[in-house]
Structure formats: C-alpha cells, structure tokens
Amino acid sequence: MRLTQNEGVVQSLSVMAQPLAAIILAAGLGTRMRSDRAKVLHELAGEPMLARVLRAVATLNPHPLVVVVGHQAERVRGAAQGAVGHAELRFALQSDQRGTGDAARCAVTELPATFAGDVLIGYGDMPRIDPHTLRAFIDDHHARGTDLSFISVELEDPAAYGRVVRDSAGAVAAIVEARDATPAQLALKEINTGIYLVGAALLRTALAQLRNDNAQREFYLTDIVAIARTHGRRVFAWRARDDAEFAGINSREDLARMETQIREEVNRRLMAAGVTFIDPATACIAPEVEIGRDTIIGPNVQILGRTRIGAGVVVEGTAWLRDVTIGDRCHLKICVRAEDCVIGEESEIGPFANLRAGTELEGHNRIGNFVETKKARLGRGTKASHLSYLGDTVIGRETNVGCGVITVNYDGYDKHVTQIGDRCMVGCDTQLIAPIKVGDDVYVASGTTLVRDVEDGALVMSHHPQREKAGWTANWHQRHAGHPKAVANAHTRSRGDSGNGAPG
Ligand code: UD1
Ligand code: CA
C-alpha cells in the first residue's frame, strides 16, 4: 500500500510520540524485611517508599499507570492513591506472588486490549529513581529504535542483583538472577536495575513464554530479555552513571541507609538555599518541604509532608511537623507537635504545644506550654499561653485566653463549636460549654463555667460566694490526733525535715 505524503507525516509523528503505559510491581511482602507490613509501605522520609516511585513515574504521564498489588492490597492501593491520585491509576491484583514476571502478566491484563504503545516497567522498591533519568532512558530507547531496553549499572559489589550477561559480540544476551548464576556470571559487575521499556506486543509475547524452572520456582520478568533475543529483537542495556538512584530496598539496613542518603540530600539543598541547621544529622525533612532563608532548624526535628516554613523562622528543636504552613519570623520553642495547620507570621509556639489538624492562627499569636488546639481558628494577636484545650473554636483578634481555659466541645455524641469575639479577656480556669458564643470585649471572670451566650462588652461570672471558717484547720487536726499518720507527721516535724511547709 502506498501512503500519501500526509499520511506518511502522521505516521512518523505517531512513532515519535508513542503512547506510554507504566507498570509498577508492588505485590510482594518483602521477606527480607522481616515484617508484617508489605515492603513498599515501609516509610522513607515520612512516606511509603511506593509513593516516591509512583510520583517519579507519574511525571511521564503514562496512560494508564498500573500498580500490581497483592500483600496488603488495600493499604498499598491507598498509599498509591494518596501519592498520585490525579494520575490515571489502575490496580492489578496478584493474589499469589509467583514472581516479577507473573506480576507483570497480571498488570498487562489492565492495559486496554488495543494498547500498542510502549510499556515502562519498574519495581515499587526503588524509591530514589529520578524522573529525569527515566525521561533520558525513554528518549534513548526511541532514538536507537530498540525493541526492549532496560537500565543497567556497574556495581563494585553486585550483591544479589541480577547480572547482565553479554554474548561474545558484547550484546546483551540475558539477565541471570544471582541465585541462578554460575560463578563466572556472579563475577560480572553490570547489574539489572529493574527498569524496562518494551513495546506492548513484544511484552505480551515474551510474558506468555516465561517458565519457572529456576532456583526460586518463580516466573522472572528478567527472562523477557533472553526471550526477546531468541525472537531476533533488538535489546539494549542503557547504562546509568549514578547507581545510588537504583538501589533497591530489600532489608531494614537498606531502608536506614537510604533514609540517611535522602536526608543528607534534602538538607544539603536547604542549606544551599540559606537555611541553618544546628545538627543536620538529626533533622529529618521530607523532600517536598520548603523552608525560607535565614530560618534556623534546631536538633531532633521531623518536618514532613507538604510543610512550608517561611523566612527567619526559629525552630528550636524536638519538633514534629506535618503538612504545616508557618509564616515568616515565627518562633517554635522546644517540643512542638503540629499537623495539618497554619501558623501565621510572627507567632510564638510552645514550649510543649500540640497543634492538631485544622488549627489556623492568623498571625502574631501565642500558643504557650501545654496548650492543645484542634480545629481552632485564632484571629491576629490572640494568645493562649498556658494549659488550655481549644477545640472546635473560632476566636477573634487580640483576645487573651487565660491559663487553664477549656472548651467543652464533646457531649459523647457530637462536637460543638465555641465562638469568642475580639479583645476578650477569658479568665483563668474558665470552661465554655459548647455550643456557645461569647461576644466582643467580654470579660470572663476566672473560674467561670459558661453555659449560655454572652453579649458584647459584658462581664460574666459564675462565682459561688466565698465562705470562710476561722480556726477550722487546727480543729481538723485535733479531731485526728489519734490517727497513725498524725503521730508520724508529728515525729518528722520534730526531726525538722518536714516536707509540707506547715509551720512547726
Ligand atoms: C529484582 C530483579 C533483579 C534486579 C533487582 C533490582 C527479578 C526476577 N529480579 O530482584 O534482576 O537486579 O530486582 O532491584 O525481577 N513483586 C511482585 N510480585 C511478585 C514478586 C515481586 O509484585 O510475585 C514486586 C515486589 O513487590 C518488588 C518488586 O517486584 O517491589 C521486585 O521484587 P524483589 O523480590 O525485590 O526482586 P529482587 O530479588 O530484588
Ligand atoms: Ca528488590
């Protein structure tokens, strides 16, 4: 058949912009982790390792992105959705883990039957993979017109990785798993990283021919390389320079090592951007965290999720922050825990403060020691300096919440809202029984239990009249004169080591 000139152009364009699907294998338990938790759910820099892999792959816009799940399928699914919920995600269930080749077979059933583009395959346990590397790998595959490419690296210690075996002409012949390798093959230093790019048709053909006559009685995905060669197809091992990117996590030791590497990398980037670290070795900061210039990060902190910290902030140390937005020049004193909240500029938090989800401080706020907030919106300049619980609360500006104030928000069934206006003085040890609304400029006398709404500008109190009985204490002791404790107390007092401060 002859093509018209235009049809020829359209065809070559479609070859260049080959549709891409991706498959990530994440069904295994990861026996070497010695864990009840699926390996890909183990966390690195505060998130499941699978999330990092999927984010890298999702930047290539694959349609679809298939994740093979098996062990703890529901939780793995949730982790995937949490990481790349926006992508065109599909899940394939591999109920028996019969090897990486079997997992890929499960995934292929999730591709549209008509899909004829390229398939990128990777493993869920290589969390340092860089999207730029994947892009360069894919471009090279197209530039060479290869049928099957995979990424290899040279390792001084090739450990348990699959070895890349080449023929006498130097072309890739096969990948041989370490457990199946001859001593000569074991000595090879070029290894399979576990990232492949292959046309869908060749992939389907090769997967159908996998056998499990190997040391692990598993269907190895790696065997598609030798199968492609026997079909006379072009196979290429793309050598990557940076081997650290492809390190697979197989043990707790691998996990800890990579945690350190990621931490060092993130901290270096932040220091280059003008952040001071008192002790980088104890600052665990997730890769997506942003921190402004001249901010000081003290020792022993975990700053996770999508946390954004402004400029000139001081985090004294021992803090756990996840998904928190912190304005410029805030001061977090020692021991702050904050999650899913906003701390406006120039606020002072802690020591020992617990800011739970939904806390929003407008700015210039003070949250002092042993204060817990939850779904609490505090206007500019409002303070709660000591020992309070503020839950389901909206407080205006410039209000002072005294020591020991408690919003009584829960009736055993429902949570209720407390509203407090601007410029109020809420006296120490006040309880606000929600739902309740306190107006602007209200004075609440200390020790008040508020059960009804209060008008603007009022003084409100629920004091019982103070009563006094003169000489009552001496009388009380006299009535207990024969009590064994009274005798013991008299004895310690006479030795002069009284601990209760009572006059002798
Ligand atoms: C694999 C490669 C090896 C390569 C190494 C790179 C094979 C046979 N070997 O070995 O050549 O050097 O990765 O890190 O592919 N999985 C499933 N279902 C299964 C088995 C595994 O989904 O039935 C998933 C696992 O969850 C894991 C990934 O596949 O995320 C890799 O499996 P793993 O057992 O870690 O393979 P390796 O022995 O490391
Ligand atoms: Ca592995």
* Tokens, residue 502: 């009572």
Pocket test of ligand 1: the residue of 77, 123, 210 to mutate, having most ligand atoms within 8 Å of its CB, is 123
Asked whether the predicted pLDDT for residue 67 surpasses 80, the reply is: yes
> CB of 191 closer than 6 A to ligand 1?
yes
Helices 73-84 and 49-58 cross at an angle (nearest 10°) of 50
Q: Are 372 and 354 in contact (CB under 8 A)?
A: yes
Write down the pTM of the prediction: 0.81
* Half-sphere exposure for 47 (CA within 13 Å, toward CB): 27
Ligand 1: nearest atom to the Cα of 102: 23
pLDDT, mean over the chain: 93
pLDDT band at 46 (very low <50, low <70, confident <90, very high): confident
Pairwise CA distance, residues 193 & 245, whole Å: 9
* Half-sphere exposure for 425 (CA within 13 Å, toward CB): 10
* Catalytic residue chosen out of the listed positions 63, 142, 331, 386: 386
Task: Please give the average per-residue pLDDT across 481-496, as a whole number.
Answer: 83
For the purposes of burial, counting CB atoms within 10 Å of the CB of 459, is it exposed (0-12), middle (13-18) or buried (19 or more)?
Answer: exposed
C-alpha separations of 217 from 214, 376, 389, 433 in Å = 5, 57, 59, 66
Task: Please give the average per-residue pLDDT across 89-111, as a whole number.
Answer: 97
Q: 123 CA to middle of ligand 1, Å?
A: 7
Q: 424 CA to middle of ligand 1, Å?
A: 62
pLDDT band at 17 (very low <50, low <70, confident <90, very high): low
The verdict on whether 331 is a catalytic residue reads: no
Asked whether the predicted pLDDT for residue 495 surpasses 80, the reply is: no
* Tokens, residue 370: 């042993």
> CB of 124 closer than 6 A to ligand 1?
yes
* Tokens, residue 282: 């104890």
* Tokens, residue 494: 């006479």
pLDDT band at 30 (very low <50, low <70, confident <90, very high): confident
Ligand 1: nearest atom to the Cα of 248: 14
DSSP calls for 427-482: -TT-EEESSEEE-TT-EE-TT-EE-S-B-TT-EE--PPPP---TTHHHHHHHHTTT
What's the pLDDT tens digit per position in 430-441?
999 999 999 999
What is the total residue count of the chain? Answer: 504
Pairwise CA distance, residues 258 & 235, whole Å: 31
* pLDDT: which is higher, 287 or 351: 351
Amino acid at 464: H
Q: Are 342 and 358 in contact (CB under 8 A)?
A: no
Q: What are phi and psi of 421, to 5 degrees?
A: -80, -165
Pairwise CA distance, residues 122 & 106, whole Å: 14
* Half-sphere exposure for 79 (CA within 13 Å, toward CB): 29
What's the pLDDT tens digit per position in 268-321?
999 999 999 999 999 999 989 999 999 999 999 999 999 999 999 999 999 999
Pairwise CA distance, residues 433 & 412, whole Å: 13
Q: Is 202 helix (H, G, I), strand (E, B) or coil?
A: helix
Pairwise CA distance, residues 360 & 344, whole Å: 8
pLDDT cut 90: percent of the chain above it: 89
Q: Are 347 and 367 in contact (CB under 8 A)?
A: yes
Asked whether the predicted pLDDT for residue 1 surpasses 50, the reply is: no
Contacts of 35 (CB under 8 A, 6+ apart): 29, 42
Pairwise CA distance, residues 113 & 49, whole Å: 31
C-alpha separations of 137 from 49, 171, 201 in Å = 22, 18, 20
> CB of 162 closer than 6 A to ligand 1?
yes
Amino acid at 275: V
Contacts of 61 (CB under 8 A, 6+ apart): 20, 87
What pLDDT sits at residue 465? Answer: 87
